[in-house]
């Protein structure tokens, strides 16, 4: 049986993950596509130091259960300034595992809404390898419950 979702988030960077965490917190079934923290892991300089303090670098989740301080405790680290990018990436991956555990690393070329369904078209390349949707190129993946989305966000 195909999975049924209420909402789709394309992108698993800091904003995408936070958006997905809040939608999940509202009780919606959320599909998330993208490679977790890809820009930070693959397109930023190794050894880069963040300007922001760790205490101002939280990703957002509805009950603030997955803030940076919680990560430091869980990983038995001390907050440092300036914060190395590697620590932020570890925090982002920890956040994803705990707050948005079901990210699908498929790249999508488009999302269409038709006949009360979302259709995803897989596309793109990640790390030199072509990603394909689990159900082939075009899959009737999602049956949106518009009422549920409106109710949760309204």
Ligand X SMILES: Cc1cc2nc3c(=O)[nH]c(=O)nc-3n(C[C@H](O)[C@H](O)[C@H](O)COP(=O)(O)OP(=O)(O)OC[C@H]3O[C@@H](n4cnc5c(N)ncnc54)[C@H](O)[C@@H]3O)c2cc1C
The least CB distance from residue 147 to ligand X, in Å, is 27
**CB of 39 or CB of 147, closer to ligand X:** 39
Cβ closer to ligand X: 21 or 108?
A: 108
Separation between Cα atoms, residue 111 and residue 95, nearest integer Å: 26
β-strand partners of 142? 118
**Min CB(81)–ligand X separation in Å:** 12
Residue of 104, 49, 103 whose CA lies nearest to 80: 49
Q: Using CB atoms, what's the residue nearest to ligand X?
A: 13
Q: Please state, in angstroms and rounded to a whole number, the distance separating the CA atoms of residues 67 and 150.
A: 28
Residues that bind ligand X (CB under 6 A): 10-16, 33-35, 38-39, 44, 50-52, 107-108, 124
Residue (6 or 36) nearer to ligand X, CB = 36
Shortest distance, position 29 Cβ to ligand X, whole Å: 18
Q: Which residue, 27 or 124, is less far from ligand X as judged by CB? A: 124
Tell me how far CA of residue 84 lies from CA of 46, 72, 96, in angstroms. 9, 14, 19
């Amino acid at each position: 049986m195909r999975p049924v979702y209420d909402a789709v988030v394309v992108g698993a960077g800091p904003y995408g993950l936070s958006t997905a965490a809040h939608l999940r917190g509202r009780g919606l079934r959320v599909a998330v596509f993208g490679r977790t923290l890809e820009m930070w892991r693959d397109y930023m300089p190794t050894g880069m130091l963040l300007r922001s303090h760790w205490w101002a670098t939280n990703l957002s989740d509805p009950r603030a259960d997955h803030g940076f301080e919680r990560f430091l405790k869980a990983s038995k680290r001390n907050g440092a300034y300036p914060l190395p990018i590697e620590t932020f990436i570890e925090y982002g991956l920890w956040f994803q595992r705990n707050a948005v555990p079901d990210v699908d690393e498929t790249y999508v070329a488009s999302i269409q809404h038709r006949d009360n369904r979302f259709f995803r078209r897989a596309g793109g390349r990640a790390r030199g390898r072509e990603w394909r949707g689990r159900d082939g190129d075009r899959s009737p993946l999602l049956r949106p419950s518009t009422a549920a989305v409106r109710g949760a966000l309204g």
